[in-house]
Amino acid sequence: MKLFIDSANVADIKKAYKVGVLSGVTTNPSLVAKEGVKFEDRIEEILKLVPKVESVSAEVTPEAETAEEMIAQAEELIKINNYDKNITIKLPMTLDGLEACRYLTDKGIKTNVTLIFTVNQALLAARAGATYVSPFLGRLDDISEDGVQLVVKIAELFRVHNLDAQIIAASVRHPDHVTRVAMAGAHIATVPFSVIEQISKHPLTDQGLEKFAADWKKAVKG
């Protein structure tokens, strides 16, 4: 399973990229709004920060409701990256979003259909040619459903029917989500930087490091 960072924060994206674990970046209107910067400027900045990743998802804004409006926004977003291949247009899971997805896919542009909460929605997005589908786990858990089970089912659906859309497990909130979606067959988990930090740690690693440091003080040095 690949890791994307789910953030529009430059410092966090830089830190994660430097560690060398990132395959992509996802953003959304809420994440960009938190940053207090112009959307297009931040997308441009991110694209420059992470030249070697496979995908940077830039979402059409809530002002675009029709497929035509989404496509018009997508065309502006694509220009930011001079048509390089790592910009991915993120579209909402609506019929208009699917129509825009099909149009952009047919033009060779990568797409990510977001806000997926059912297997059927994932099926539609895959059939509309989405490069990526994004089921939101945490938000299902929030309403007492099992978000990971949705990923299990979508992975099975894609396997049985040979669909090549990649599953991005999104709304990932904690380390157990990461492990479980990896085992479930998600191709990608998009996670906040805090989760990358959390999954790098273990108390026994810290204890082990402390012991090595203490013992090293007693070692004979040349």
Work out how close the CB of 202 gets to ligand G3P at its nearest, in angstroms, rounded to a whole number: 24
**Cα gap 12→193, rounded to integer Å:** 6
Q: Which residue is catalytic, options 15, 85, 90, 153?
A: 90
Choice between 15 and 173, CB closer to ligand G3P? 173
Work out how close the CB of 88 gets to ligand G3P at its nearest, in angstroms, rounded to a whole number: 13
Work out how close the CB of 211 gets to ligand G3P at its nearest, in angstroms, rounded to a whole number: 37
Choice between 28 and 121, CB closer to ligand G3P? 28
Work out how close the CB of 147 gets to ligand G3P at its nearest, in angstroms, rounded to a whole number: 10
- Residues at the interface with ligand G3P (CB under 6 A): 6, 26, 28, 31, 136, 138-139, 170-171, 173, 190
Choice between 5 and 103, CB closer to ligand G3P? 5
Choice between 6 and 96, CB closer to ligand G3P? 6
Q: Provide the angle, in degrees to the nearest 10, between the axes of the packed helices 95-106 and 119-127.
A: 30
Active site includes 90? yes
Cite the active site residues. Answer: 90
